[in-house]
Amino acid sequence: MMLQTNCEGMSRRNCLQLGLGGLAAGSVVDLLRLKAQAETAAAASGKPLRKPMSCILVWLDGGPSHYETFDPKPEAPREIAGEFKPIATSTPGVQFSEAVPSLAKISDQLCIVRSIRHNQGNHGAGNHYMMTGAPPRIPVGCGAFVSFHPSLGSAVAKERTAPRGMPAYFSIPSVSRSGGPNFLGAKYAPFVVKDDPNDASFRVRDVSLPEGLTDDRFLGRRDLRKAVDTLPRFAEAAAGDPVAAVDTYYRQGYELMTSVEARRAFDMNEENEKTRDSYGRHGFGQRCLLARRLVEAGVPWITLYSGGWDHHVELFPRFREMMPTVDSSLAALITDLRVRGMLDSTLVVMLGEFGRTPKINPKGGRDHWANAMSVLFAGGGCPQGAIVGSTDKNGYAALERVCSPENFASTIYRKLGLDPDKIYYTPQGRPTHLVSDPTPIRELMG
């Protein structure tokens, strides 16, 4: 498999600096109490309790072109419009690029926001802004791995729970450079599933016992560790305490290996061949299917990472090579969720860190462009067949209903039951708003 890299030459296999810190104050007890109160109220009223929302975030790392996806400009000059033609969609009057025919067929189930823009035109800063809803505090380089604020997935993992033994935040097959928990601490870092679920030998670390280790031996080792590990943990709540982090990982590992829900979610053999074929018999397609299975298991946040979308050179042949798998598999995921009655309670989002330059460069590519980008939303109560905002006639800038990364993050938090205006406290005691502007994109809120 070819490594997918961005313009700074770093591959998705590079070591990530997630900025792990100590745990913030808070307790699951309050969440459980609120959940019980909601269930009691629902039972008294005779109304069913609304199923908690989950999110599948499809991250196209590098910055996918808005021209070649959801905002084609057929009337623009050739050096701007590019090689792909616009095609009709299932939404009257709406056109997508011919590079996304499967998504065009189900556009009546999608909501496309064409008017998100920001001012961070390099990978490190743009990634951080869109993945956290917070701009970097200091200027950062294009290739930087930065973490000044908790990622969307980590914040959701802190506020939401998954079934016993299941992590609340998955990132598959790797982590975006700003996808970590920052000051929330290692407990809310993502669980990474690196292996390819399309392989017949697919096996997730920590879900199955190592070969030669029986259940009895495993439980015996766990009890032995508990017996000898009697050191006081006075600094357990301190920022960056490595002992506390290791204890957390041990506990999560024990729970994961003994979790029936986890074993079932990762057993791809439970799916029939027709369903697996519909998603595509390749890594991205089967990861989309795995994401659906994790949502069914009660996981609130899954990031699907796809690298290689930094098309400075030969954009059009690269799009013809890469986009068909994403287009068809994402359409299959959204359709499958709808058929199963899961789309209302599952928010599907696809984006990268920014859009691409209007003018095609001499190498047949488009460069970084944060002044305009398109983001796909589906499910989660979003309007169907809708287009929010627009860019100018040549796609240079978002003009109508201009939205910020803060608006984007606040929308997601609101839909998943989080208050974007909530204040967290860093280990140093400094108050920090989850999002500085807690205003969601109103058209998506219903």
DSSP element (H, E) containing 261: helix 260-265
pLDDT of residue 255: 66
Token pair in block for residue 289: 């299917």
Under DSSP, the state recorded for 255 is: H
Categorize the per-residue pLDDT at 44 as very low, low, confident or very high, splitting at 50, 70 and 90.
Answer: low
Query: Could you tell me whether strands 386-388 and 110-116 are parallel, antiparallel, or unpaired per DSSP bridges?
Result: parallel
C-alpha distances out from residue 377 to 172, 297, 305, 351, Å: 19, 22, 16, 9
pTM of structure: 0.83
Query: Could you tell me whether strands 398-400 and 390-391 are parallel, antiparallel, or unpaired per DSSP bridges?
Result: antiparallel
Mean pLDDT of the chain: 84
pLDDT of residue 225: 46
- Tell me the H-state helices in 78-196: 78-81, 101-105, 123-132, 152-159
Token pair in block for residue 325: 């798998």
Categorize the per-residue pLDDT at 259 as very low, low, confident or very high, splitting at 50, 70 and 90.
Answer: confident
Closest to 307 in 3D by CA, of 6, 56, 1:
6
**26 has a pLDDT exceeding 50:** no
Contact 294, 345 (CB under 8 A): no
Per DSSP, the three-state class of 418 is coil
pLDDT-wise least confident of 184-193, 212-221, 291-300, 347-356: 212-221
Alpha-carbon dihedral sign for residues 127, 66, 102, 344: positive
Q: Which residues pair with 88 in a beta bridge?
A: 95
Phi, psi values for residue 305, rounded to 5°: -95, 130
pLDDT of residue 7: 72
Contact 55, 412 (CB under 8 A): yes
pLDDT of residue 272: 96
Token pair in block for residue 252: 């999560």
Domains contained in the chain, CATH given: 49-207+259-444 (3.40.720.10)
Per residue in 88-132, pLDDT (tens digit) is 999 999 999 999 999 999 999 999 999 999 999 999 999 999 999
- Tell me the H-state helices in 82-133: 101-105, 123-132
- pLDDT mean over 19-26: 34
Q: Which amino acid is at 445?
A: M
pLDDT-wise least confident of 46-55, 85-94, 196-205: 46-55
Token pair in block for residue 81: 């419009």
Q: Which amino acid is at 72?
A: P
- pLDDT mean over 12-35: 39
**45 has a pLDDT exceeding 70:** no
**240 has a pLDDT exceeding 80:** no
Cα distance between residue 23 and residue 139, in whole Å:
27
Q: Residue-wise over 349-363: b if at least 16 C-beta within 10 A, else e?
A: bbbbbbbbbbebeee
Q: SS3 helix, strand, coil % of the chain, rounded to 5?
A: 35, 15, 50
**35 has a pLDDT exceeding 80:** no
**438 has a pLDDT exceeding 50:** yes
Per residue in 118-174, pLDDT (tens digit) is 999 999 999 999 999 999 877 676 766 778 999 999 999 999 999 888 999 999 999
**1 has a pLDDT exceeding 50:** no
Contact 79, 358 (CB under 8 A): no
**36 has a pLDDT exceeding 60:** no
Categorize the per-residue pLDDT at 249 as very low, low, confident or very high, splitting at 50, 70 and 90.
Answer: low
pLDDT of residue 37: 53
Cα distance between residue 96 and residue 84, in whole Å:
10
pLDDT of residue 14: 45
pLDDT of residue 203: 82
Under DSSP, the state recorded for 353 is: S
Cα distance between residue 207 and residue 400, in whole Å:
48
In the block, tokens 């991205």 appear at: 284
Closest to 82 in 3D by CA, of 97, 104, 60, 103:
97
- pLDDT mean over 45-73: 87
C-alpha distances out from residue 261 to 56, 82, 167, 266, 297, Å: 19, 47, 11, 9, 6
Instruction: Write the Ramachandran bin of 9: left for phi over 0, alpha for psi from -120 to 50, otherwise beta.
Output: left
Per residue in 409-434, pLDDT (tens digit) is 999 999 999 999 999 999 999 999 99
C-alpha distances out from residue 268 to 57, 96, 217, Å: 21, 33, 27
Q: Residue-wise over 280-315: b if at least 16 C-beta within 10 A, else e?
A: beebbbbbbbbbbbbbbbbbbbbbbbbbbbbbbeeb
Cis omega (within 30 of 0) for bond into 190: no
Categorize the per-residue pLDDT at 238 as very low, low, confident or very high, splitting at 50, 70 and 90.
Answer: very low
Cα distance between residue 311 and residue 309, in whole Å:
6
pLDDT of residue 258: 66
* Distance of alpha carbon 167 from the chain centroid: 15
Per residue in 315-360, pLDDT (tens digit) is 999 999 999 999 999 999 999 999 999 999 999 999 999 999 999 9
Cα distance between residue 183 and residue 391, in whole Å:
37
Between residues 239 and 257, the one the model is more confident about = 257
Token pair in block for residue 362: 């001499």
Categorize the per-residue pLDDT at 55 as very low, low, confident or very high, splitting at 50, 70 and 90.
Answer: very high
